[in-house]
Amino acid sequence: MSDAKSFKRLPAIRCWIRHLLEGSYSAEEKILHTIFGELKRARVIATIVDKREIINTQTSDNNDFLNEADGNNVRLEFDLDDGTGLIRATLWNVNPENYASFNKGNIVDMVGLIRFWSSYVSISPEIIRKIEEPNSILLRNAEIIKKIKSGNIQAIPVLSEGGASIDEIPDEFDINELFEEKEQVELNGTKETLYSIIEENSKEGISFKELKQRLNIAEDELKNHIRDLEMESRIYQSEENIYQAY
Considering its fold, how many domains does the chain have in total?
2
What's the pLDDT score for residue 48? 95
CA triple 145-147-152, angle to 5 deg: 140
Dist CA 236 CA 198 (whole Å): 10
**Do residues 138 and 218 both lie within one domain?**
no
Higher pLDDT, 143 or 238: 143
What's the pLDDT score for residue 53? 92
* Whole-Å CA distances, 143 to 64, 80, 105, 149, 154: 29, 20, 24, 10, 17
What's the pLDDT score for residue 41? 92
**Do residues 96 and 209 both lie within one domain?**
no
**10 pLDDT tier (thresholds 50, 70, 90):** low
Domain boundary, last residue among 99, 123, 149? 149
Residue 131 belongs to what domain range? 7-149
**Do residues 142 and 43 both lie within one domain?**
yes
Higher pLDDT, 165 or 110: 110
**7 pLDDT tier (thresholds 50, 70, 90):** very low
What's the pLDDT score for residue 187? 41
Q: Is residue 158 assigned to a domain?
A: no
Sign of CA dihedral 83, 88, 89, 95: positive
What's the pLDDT score for residue 61? 45
**Do residues 89 and 198 both lie within one domain?**
no
Q: Is residue 163 assigned to a domain?
A: no
> Of all residues in the chain, what percent carry a pLDDT higher than 70?
76
Domain boundary, last residue among 149, 178, 206? 149
The CATH number for 201's domain is 1.10.10.10
The pLDDT tens digits of the residues spanning 143-194 come to 999 888 888 788 888 765 544 443 444 444 444 444 444 333 334 578 889 9
- Backbone phi, then psi, for 232, in 5-degree steps? -85, 0
**Do residues 19 and 121 both lie within one domain?**
yes
Dist CA 127 CA 54 (whole Å): 20
**Do residues 117 and 199 both lie within one domain?**
no
The answer to whether the CB of 117 falls within 8 A of the CB of 60 is no
Higher pLDDT, 65 or 46: 46
* Residue 32 CA, distance from chain mean position: 14
The answer to whether the CB of 88 falls within 8 A of the CB of 115 is no
**Do residues 143 and 191 both lie within one domain?**
no
Higher pLDDT, 27 or 63: 27
pLDDT-wise least confident of 89-103, 125-139, 149-163: 149-163
The answer to whether the CB of 70 falls within 8 A of the CB of 16 is no
The CATH number for 14's domain is 2.40.50.140
The answer to whether the CB of 218 falls within 8 A of the CB of 183 is no
Dist CA 203 CA 243 (whole Å): 10
**Do residues 140 and 225 both lie within one domain?**
no
Q: Is residue 71 assigned to a domain?
A: yes
Q: Is residue 84 assigned to a domain?
A: yes
What's the pLDDT score for residue 212? 92
Higher pLDDT, 27 or 109: 109
**Do residues 107 and 27 both lie within one domain?**
yes
What's the pLDDT score for residue 154? 87
Rg (Cα) of the chain, in Å, rounded?
A: 20
Dist CA 19 CA 37 (whole Å): 11
Pairing mode of beta strands 86-94, 120-130: parallel
**Do residues 26 and 122 both lie within one domain?**
yes
**Do residues 142 and 194 both lie within one domain?**
no
**Do residues 191 and 114 both lie within one domain?**
no
Most confident of 60-69, 89-98, 165-174: 89-98
pLDDT-wise least confident of 5-14, 65-74, 170-179, 213-222: 170-179
- Secondary structure of residue 25 in the 3-state scheme: strand
Q: Is residue 182 assigned to a domain?
A: no
